[in-house]
Amino acid sequence: MEDLFSRREAYLTKDQFNYATNLNLNTEKFNKLKDLASTAKLKYSKKDPIKQKCTEMMTYLNRPTKGSNRYRKILCETKVETVPHNIVKFSSNTETIIGLENSKKLNSIWNSS
C-alpha cells in the first residue's frame, strides 16, 4: 500500500501518514498497519520489478480482496458484537435461547478435543 511507504523500502512516519491520508491514527493502530503491510510485502511481493505494484489505501479498502478485512478492522472504531450465524442455527435446532456471552463460550469449545 503506497500510502505507508515514502520509497519502496522506507515507511512514512505516523505524522506523515496521518497528514497524507487525513486519518488521525494513534501509535498502536499505525504500528499494526505497518506490521500488516510489511508482512504482506514479504508474502505477496513479486520478484519481477515490472509486475510489482502498489495500491492506494482507499482503493484497497473499497474492494473485496483478500486481506483488506484486516486493515478495515484496525481502521474501524466501532465493534458490533452479534451472535454468530452458526449459534443462531444451533439455537433454533435445539429450541433454546443462547445469548452473546454464552455464544462466545459455546463457539470456543467446538474445536476442543
40: confidence class by pLDDT, cuts 50, 70, 90: confident
pLDDT number for residue 104? 87
Whether residues 69 and 87 share a domain: the answer is: no
Q: What is the pLDDT of residues 2-21, one digit of tens each?
A: 667 766 667 788 888 888 77
Please give the Cα distance from 31 to 51 (Å, whole number).
27
Q: What is the pLDDT of residues 41-94, one digit of tens each?
A: 777 666 666 665 666 666 666 666 655 667 667 666 666 778 888 889 989 999
Whether residues 19 and 70 share a domain: the answer is: yes
Domain count, the chain: 2
- 70 phi and psi, to 5 degrees? -65, -40
DSSP 8-class letter at 12: P
Whether residues 101 and 59 share a domain: the answer is: no
Whether residues 16 and 49 share a domain: the answer is: yes
Instruction: Domain of residue 96: give its range.
Output: 81-113
Q: How many CB atoms lie within 10 A of CB 95?
A: 6
| Amino acid, single-letter form, for residue 41 | K
Q: Write down the pTM of the prediction.
A: 0.45
Whether residues 39 and 61 share a domain: the answer is: yes
Rounded to a whole number of angstroms, the distance between the first and last alpha carbons of the chain is 40
